Structure 1
Amino acid sequence: MSVLRYFVFGFAVCATLGWSLNQSAFAETDYPLTEDSIRQDGVPEGKVIGPIQWRSKIFPGTVRDYWIYVPQQYDPSQEACVFVVQDGLNRAKGWHLLPVLDNLIHKKEIPVQIGIFISPGGVPAANDQSQPRFNRSFEYDGLGDRYARFLVEEILPEVGKDYSLSDDPNDRAIAGASSGGICAFTVAWERPDQFRRVLSTIGTFVGLRGGDAYPVMIRKHEPKPIRVFLQDGSTDLNLYGGEWFVANQAMLSALKFAGYEVNHAWGDGGHNSKHAASIMPEALKWLWEGYPGEVSVGTTEGRRTDLLIPGEDWVEVSSGHRFTEGPAIDSDGNLYFTDIPNATIHKIDRSGNKSVFVKDSPGINGLMFGADQKLYGCQNGTKKIVRYTLDGEEEVVCEGYPCNDLVVLPNGVGFFTDPQNKKVWRFDAEGKVTLADEGIARPNGIIVSPDQSILTVADTDGRFTYSFTLDENTQLQNKQVYGHLHLEDQELKSGADGMAVDTEGRTYVTTRVGLQVLDQLGRVHFIIEKPQDAWLSNVVFGGENLDVLYATCGDKLYSRKIKATGVRPWEAAVKQPKPSL
């Protein structure tokens, strides 16, 4: 038996055993095939090419087979749609997918598409006394963008050498069963710029490798342009990781809550392809319904925290920098931000005119205005806290301390973070520095609540923010781990950086996942997408009504208008409403 056949055989045995242990006593409904799943006279039959062996670099050492389905209607002069299916040709045959594609393409009920049926990878056994390393669960059940990158960077370019494939995400569908089902969703969730149509049958949205988090993330995250069809049966698996049918219902509920285009077919079947095969033609027709119309984006309407304005997305404000940081707004609405490697502070006035405000400010990072209308900054290259007059004249506030980000209060007291030494420092109006806290793994962003009673510090190397109360002498008290942040699957560190607050007492924290919005109780209600795939370093409210977010992300500065009003920490305190407990 070949290595690749052994991988497939092992999966089939496991799937069969899982079903027999949980479902053997239940008699399923008979799910007959429809005419669209059976070969019809006069319908052109597509050809299947393969198996083709592939050795991956993204999944080192793995070997797998894939097959290519080419309909007779395929025209090399025109870009074809793409349909990727996990678990290879066996999965396609289990769904009776080949006649389904032939029949529906012939009737023009779905577009012409190239099918790519891919087996999971495995690292061959070292010898006849060893087992291969089975990669199916790691590739399929795991969250993050690895498998999406495998498709986008390896398989699609390879198939694209011989076939004309569309690179429009609206022209791409992806499907799978069981772990292959959650894999299909993960690809579209991570890369909606590549895939937007998802078919999942008996999907494994349970706690094997973190997939049980999806219903929560869907409810919290800014909606994406994805259309999803779910299938499952009431006697699907119920194992240590969860109950499949319950998990799929949770996915449906979350997708509906977030306004996605979603459809489903529930039955009484177990962990097999019987029901899926019977509804496959209707599922594919719905998946491609309205094509070539675009898949729509979900909505935030009706959510407890509804921040987004339809049609208002991130807009590029400034580019051509090396690494942007420290956005700050003065009382007239002018915007300032830093380019750390270039030791420069840039200014954009209310009319959009751009200029260099300060040159040669070594390591200049976080910025914030003070009540004295001077721009305070962390000049880490010289280990100084400095401030600038509106004419750009530099004054030293204090020196001798590494510094990253800062906040300045109306009474002239400020706090700054020192990630290198795991410390937070306090300075007063005369520039006297005292230690305020130590021990946070990597203190970074720092902000005060609208009523100026609570100070929050972001920990780049952790998953929480830290909360302190401020006493009558503006000293820190009652340190507590408080805000709970979401992490990327492959990260143990949130990447929490700069922060802003609004009049409702919400805290906006820049992280690897995106801009996470926490309520007063430290719970993430909403996650706004990053403007680009780069480090999201800081954020501030600006605009005439303080309802525009300005975010520094990688080499660019972006803006986005939202349904919230920001607060400037250096102005008078703003009373925030009592939170919902």
Structure 2
Amino acid sequence: MAQDPPHGQVIAATLPPGQFYPGTPHAYSIYIPAQYNANHPIPFTVFMDGASFLREPIRTAQVLDQLIAEHAIPAMIGIFVDPGVLPAISPSAQNRYERSFEYDALSDRYSRFLLEELIPAVATHYRLSTSPDDRALAGISTGAAAAFIAAWNRPDQFHRVISFIGTYVAMRGADSLPALVRKTEPRPLRVYLEDGSNDHIVAGEPYGTFYAGSWPINNQVMLEDLEFGGYDVKLTLGQGGHEMKGGAAILTDALRWMWRDYPQPIVPHAPKALNQPGWDSRGSIFSTILPDEPWQPVGTSSVSSIGVHPSGDVIVADAQSGSIQRLDSTGTTHEIAHDNGNPTALTVGADGRIFVYQRARRKIVAYRSTVAEDVATGVDVAEMTITQKGRLYFSDPAQHRLGYVDTAHPSAASYTPLAMDDPAGVTLSPDQAMLVVTDAKGRYSWSFQLGPDGRPRNGEPFYRLEVKDDSTTSEVRGVVEDSIGQVYFGTPLGVQVTEASGRVAMILNGPEYGAVGSLRFAGPHYDWLYAIHKGKLYRRHLRTFGVAVDAPKKPPLPPL
């Protein structure tokens, strides 16, 4: 007879309403294993639709008891949370049921609810691990979508996902997840998928009976796109419908698979088929990134703007201190000037002059050494770029226009009005014949041709960017273009990279959680991408290259 394992304790609790779901309490239960030791941080799994996981036929607490006793999984706490219900104001009124709003949305609201409200509430009583490798999410149906979406949005916090009969269909946008997964640089996630071949399927309608789409097909597509990205992923497809008989039967196997080789960290890997004949490398993440070379912090801890010297050295400005510094390829910094005009934007000319926008004085100045010379006065500037011939372009968000100054023959700035709400980043094409201008409050960024006189013309909303689920704007600030015409946009979703034809082909993960700001290619070979994130400077080695301001280069014919 099998020995009865030590039994954990299950305690019910209620999380009071918080900032993310106003007026809405959440019922939850905590499973504490018999092996819990308050002297050591303990792994944990958050189960969405928590009450269902604790009931028959799933009986998760008993499954955890057995697997922990067998040492098949580490001793862990289980947090079983139910979706919120906003109580009605009277018996004659109906409650508001939050399940779809919480679970199906692609935004980071639910992940923030977990990280800022639910998990801290549990952590006041139990010593929870802060390692993302020790944190898992699991869910059923839309709860499964919530588990994946929360980990997808915060891979710095969660590395493991178990999805039963996952609703990756057109409820609130989860049907777009497969395409997003395929385009985005792989994240450190391990994913177990389960579904039934008869989930919302009848004999006369083999492709699904529900308005949102087909559960079996979309789970299969999720598998394929995760495999495309080299993820550690598994799909178990049984014969059941939209119920948990199949999930309950394989929960033990799913947990064993999810926590196998623990405590080895979960890290991204290139797909196994990457180098096989026939692999289409066009627009591929793996044609751009070096998987083993992630972002790294460099130089000073406070940066407001970055430019690049023709040598490839980085020039940075700190608006707070006024320091203008030069960083060489080793990350060593040297102060080259001090500017007390609140320097918030800069660019570097082919002759090595450093052009700085002084926000406090509303003017652009040029440094040849430590002395500044006026270039343009009475201007408002978000970001600047300059051609080999010294034509300087800047975005003016205050007046919704693009400014232009010929630094070889300084005069009053000329302007082109823009059909944009918030013109922000500006960059030149490698041949310096085109100009890209981003719109932080729009979805589209614009392409302009530069005429013989240097004036922008023939503008089009050419670049269609991905946006956050809870926003209609791209929030793009920084932009830079590489030698083959791919354009890199700094956004809250990461660094979005478009083909020269204007389509987003890939999304590089940002240095940290949150929006990416200004971008520049630099280094001796211009194969380091530099980025500002929350006032800090980061860099990343890539397979692609930028172009020096003093050496314009015609890009190849773009893919059409």
* TM-score, structure 2 as length reference: 0.91
- Are the structure 2 counterparts of residues 420 and 343 from structure 1 closer, same or farther at C-alpha, using a change threshold of 3 Å? farther
Aligned to 1:315: 296
Aligned to 1:115: 78
Is the CA contact (8 Å cut-off) linking 1:43 and 1:106 kept in structure 2?
A: no
Aligned to 2:35: 73
Task: Return 333-342 or 283-292, whichever deviates more.
Answer: 333-342
SS at match of 1:242: coil
Cα shift at 1:288: 0.9
Identify the match of residue 459 of structure 1 among 430, 436, 439: 439
Task: Return 296-305 or 509-518, whichever deviates more.
Answer: 296-305
Distance 2:171 2:269 in 1: 27
Distance 1:455 1:273 in 2: 55
The reply on whether 1:291 has 2:262 as its aligned counterpart is: yes
The reply on whether 1:42 has 2:6 as its aligned counterpart is: no
Write out per-residue CA displacement over residues 129-156 of structure 1, whole angstroms, 9 at most, x where no aligned residue: 1111111111111122222222222222
Distance 1:186 1:393 in 2: 52
Superposed counterparts of 1:24-423, under 5 Å: 41-57=2-18, 58-93=20-55, 94-237=57-200, 238=208, 239-299=210-270, 301=274, 303-304=281-282, 305=284, 306-321=287-302, 324-350=303-329, 352-389=331-368, 391-423=369-401
SS at match of 1:296: coil
Distance 2:37 2:30 in 1: 15
Structure 2: gaps (5+ residues): 201-207, 276-280
Distance 2:29 2:147 in 1: 17
Is the CA contact (8 Å cut-off) linking 1:380 and 1:404 kept in structure 2?
A: no
Aligned to 1:20: none
Write out per-residue CA displacement over residues 68-114 of structure 1, whole angstroms, 9 at most, x where no aligned residue: 22333333444332121111222332423233222222222222111
Identify the match of residue 518 of structure 1 among 485, 498, 522: 498
**RMSD, matched Cα:** 2.0
SS at match of 1:465: strand
Task: Return 336-345 or 517-526, whichever deviates more.
Answer: 336-345
Distance 2:291 2:339 in 1: 41
Distance 2:238 2:547 in 1: 52
Identity of aligned residues (%): 36
Structure 1: gaps (5+ residues): 1-39
Distance 2:435 2:340 in 1: 27
Distance 1:564 1:171 in 2: 35
Write out per-residue CA displacement over residues 427-449 of structure 1, whole angstroms, 9 at most, x where no aligned residue: 22312322223221111111111
Task: Return 504-513 or 349-358, whichever deviates more.
Answer: 349-358
- Are the structure 2 counterparts of residues 478 and 73 from structure 1 closer, same or farther at C-alpha, using a change threshold of 3 Å? same
Is the CA contact (8 Å cut-off) linking 1:85 and 1:117 kept in structure 2?
A: yes
Identify the match of residue 546 of structure 2 among 557, 560, 566: 566
- Are the structure 2 counterparts of residues 365 and 162 from structure 1 closer, same or farther at C-alpha, using a change threshold of 3 Å? closer
Aligned to 1:470: 450
Aligned to 1:505: 485
- Are the structure 2 counterparts of residues 351 and 88 from structure 1 closer, same or farther at C-alpha, using a change threshold of 3 Å? closer
Distance 2:331 2:215 in 1: 53
Write out per-residue CA displacement over residues 200-235 of structure 1, whole angstroms, 9 at most, x where no aligned residue: 011111222221221122112221111000011222
- Are the structure 2 counterparts of residues 293 and 458 from structure 1 closer, same or farther at C-alpha, using a change threshold of 3 Å? same
* TM-score, structure 1 as length reference: 0.88
Distance 1:298 1:351 in 2: 28
Distance 2:243 2:557 in 1: 51
Distance 2:501 2:339 in 1: 41
Is the CA contact (8 Å cut-off) linking 2:8 and 2:65 kept in structure 1?
A: no
Cα shift at 1:548: 0.8
Distance 1:296 1:44 in 2: 33
